[in-house]
């Protein structure tokens, strides 16, 4: 894979899982006074998501994009942790897949390149569920026993 061209990046299971996590809690941006800092980030709860971001997603990014240096940032004024990667190549890859700079809307679609491959779809959904998924037991009266629910 060329360090200088996002078009040479081939999707794989792990990259699709990262894309899913991005769909759940990610953002893209171009920052800096000269608009020369290209960022892809995934945010989470300091306590609940630290292990996932630090010990799972960060190494996944390093394995698949060895030219990057993902970093964790802890917000002191909030209960937020951010995993950020400054990389024009990754930023452009996500833009090419159809994502825009800034906050995502409530409606985000899985890119067509992923939809065409069943295994990639599964891994993308796994990433979405890792960031936004929930399993609980519904104990409302209509159910004789607590009923398991899976939600996003």
For residue 14, the domain's CATH number is: 3.10.28.10
pTM over 0.85: yes
Complete DSSP assignment for the chain: --TT-GGGPPP-HHHHHHHHHHHHHEEEEEETTTT-EEEEEEEEETTTSHHHIIIIIHHHHHHH-TT---EEEE-SSSSEEEEEEE-HHHHHHHHHTT--SBS--S-----HHHHT-HHHHHHHHHHHHHHH-EEEEE--TT-SS-EEEEE-
Above pLDDT 70, what percent of the chain? 94
Query: Can you give the pLDDT at residue 2?
Result: 45
Containing structural domain, residue 15: 6-151
Residue 39's pLDDT is 96
For residues 133 and 44, the answer to whether their CB atoms sit within 8 Å is no
| pLDDT level of residue 1 (50, 70, 90 thresholds) | very low
On average, the pLDDT of the chain sits at 89
The answer as to whether 70 is a domain residue is yes
Q: Is residue 1 situated within a structural domain?
A: no
* Domain annotation covers residue 105: yes
94-125: per-residue pLDDT in tens? 999 999 988 776 778 899 999 999 999 999 99
Indicate whether 146 pLDDT > 50. Answer: yes
Q: How many domains does the chain have?
A: 1
């Amino acid at each position: 894979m060329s360090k200088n061209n996002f078009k040479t990046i081939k999707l794989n299971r792990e990259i699709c899982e990262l894309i899913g996590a991005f769909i759940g809690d990610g953002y893209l941006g171009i920052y800096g006074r000269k608009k020369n800092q290209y960022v892809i980030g995934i945010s989470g709860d300091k306590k609940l998501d630290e292990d996932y971001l630090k010990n799972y997603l960060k190494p996944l990014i390093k394995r698949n994009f060895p030219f990057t240096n993902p970093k964790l940032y802890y917000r002191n004024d909030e209960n937020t942790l951010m995993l950020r990667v400054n990389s024009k190549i990754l930023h452009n890859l996500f833009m090419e897949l159809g994502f825009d700079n800034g906050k995502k809307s409530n409606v985000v679609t899985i890119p067509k390149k992923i939809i065409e491959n069943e295994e990639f779809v599964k891994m993308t959904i796994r990433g979405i569920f890792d960031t936004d998924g929930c399993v609980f037991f519904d104990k409302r009266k209509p159910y004789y026993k607590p009923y398991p629910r899976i939600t996003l």
